[in-house]
Amino acid sequence: MYRLPLVSATPALALQPAAGEVQPERETEALGRFRKRDYVRYGAKLAQGMISSRVFGQHRPLMVNIEPTHRCNLDCVYCDKVDPRSPQMETEAALRMIDELAELGTLSVCFDGGEPLVHPGILRFVRRAKRHGMRVSMSTNGHLLKRKAEVLKYVDKIKISIDGPRHVHDAGRGAGALEQALQGARLALDSGAGVAIRMTLARHNLEHYREVLEFAKEMGVVALFQPAVGNIMNGADAPAEHSADADAYRRVIDDLKRLKACGEPVANEMLCLDHLRNWPEPKPVPFCSGGRVEVAIGPDGGMFPCGRTGRNLAAPNVFEVGVAAAFEKVLRPTDCANCWCTLTVAACYLYRGDIRLLTKAARGPGRSR
């Protein structure tokens, strides 16, 4: 069995204090956000880790999606990933989990949800991840960024959901939601974090993608697109009532490809748009990164191959057996018929060895396209 190296040999910890020299969390400010050279180093380590995984079967959780909670301050029309009564990660246990991830060589974490900012421990989580020298990102609706602005100091990239102009975004996400999201995006930009808009293409907002691109241009950021699938929690990718009509959706993806070719700030790579264009027809990715270099950890500690895996499947639990043992047992799918989340699709094509995606990872988010 492949043994993971110790902390001293773990690339993500190259900048860390020696073992035993525990620093208070506050001191992480000295470590700060990734700069150019950190991204270059990150890209190199990612490439190295992916080659080890693909060629030698030495898998490691290099990129981890952490869902501290499935609670949320919104109730969006197409989202089933929210449960107001669901358990949240216990803060101290989650901090230990982040330490264990660092031990295993995790290079980047993305805080997701639910809405990650509703978790009371979120500031401590991002700070702890930064302390380990990880690249830290967050998927958010943006509403709580004003109240929890300190979080931004430790986040390299914010992915903020915007689904259309005011009347459309608010129809799907609640009155006043667009204003809050834009305010959050501006705060993130002013703090120096990288920002990307993420638009989920559903029935109610499909025709408004150009307006979302306009927001992106005005802010000098990029926009990612993905289809609204049926049910994330059950892993059901078939369209539901809220989903867009498949033919109309494909026309939008084709137009996004044209716009990207003309220099518009569409962040999905062309090959990812080509992949996403197939929705809802089954379309496996060439190589699945899930459980190999990427994993997701849910609020109760269940470890899944990726954020899109149905939560109805049995999963090893990091709070019961520890992160390393959970990673040894995690599912490594070989038969996933669909992969429609913009982020998991990009991770899978990166895992295949796409050089443009790797260059992008090594360049960092920045403000611009």
Q: Assess 81 for contact with ligand SAM (CB under 6 A).
A: yes
In 3D space, the residue among 356, 198, 337 whose CA is nearest the CA of residue 270 turns out to be 356
Q: Assess 336 for contact with ligand SF4 (CB under 6 A).
A: yes
d(CA 145, CA 40): 28
The partner in contact with residue 285, picked from ligand SAM, ligand SF4, none with C-beta cut-offs of 5 to 8 angstroms by kind, is ligand SF4
Nearest approach in angstroms of CB 200 to ligand SF4 is 7
Q: Assess 308 for contact with ligand SF4 (CB under 6 A).
A: yes
Helices and strands (H, E) in the chain, number of each type: 12, 8
How are strands ordered across the β-sheet holding 294-297? 222-227, 194-201, 157-161, 135-140, 108-111, 63-66, 294-297, 303-304
Burial of 147 (0-12, 13-18, 19+ CB in 10 A): exposed
Comparing CB distances to ligand SAM, the nearer of 142 and 316 is 142
The partner in contact with residue 75, picked from ligand SAM, ligand SF4, none with C-beta cut-offs of 5 to 8 angstroms by kind, is ligand SF4
The partner in contact with residue 309, picked from ligand SF4, ligand SAM, none with C-beta cut-offs of 5 to 8 angstroms by kind, is ligand SF4
Nearest approach in angstroms of CB 303 to ligand SF4 is 12
Q: Considering Cα of 97, then 99, then 101, then 103, what sign does the dihedral take?
A: negative
Decide: helix, strand or coil at residue 311: coil
Among 339, 343, 346, 361, binds ligand SF4 (CB under 6 A): 339
Note whether 362 and 354 are within 8 A (CB).
no
Q: Assess 200 for contact with ligand SAM (CB under 6 A).
A: yes
With vertex at residue 214, the alpha carbon angle to CA 176 and CA 218, rounded to the nearest 5 degrees, is: 85
The one segment of 38-46, 125-133, 258-266, 283-291 that binds ligand SF4 by CB under 6 A: 283-291
Q: Assess 94 for contact with ligand SAM (CB under 6 A).
A: no
Nearest approach in angstroms of CB 78 to ligand SAM is 4
Q: Assess 232 for contact with ligand SAM (CB under 6 A).
A: yes
Burial of 349 (0-12, 13-18, 19+ CB in 10 A): buried
Could you list the residues that contact ligand SAM (CB under 6 A)? Answer: 72, 78-79, 81, 112-113, 115, 139-141, 161, 198, 200, 226, 228-229, 232
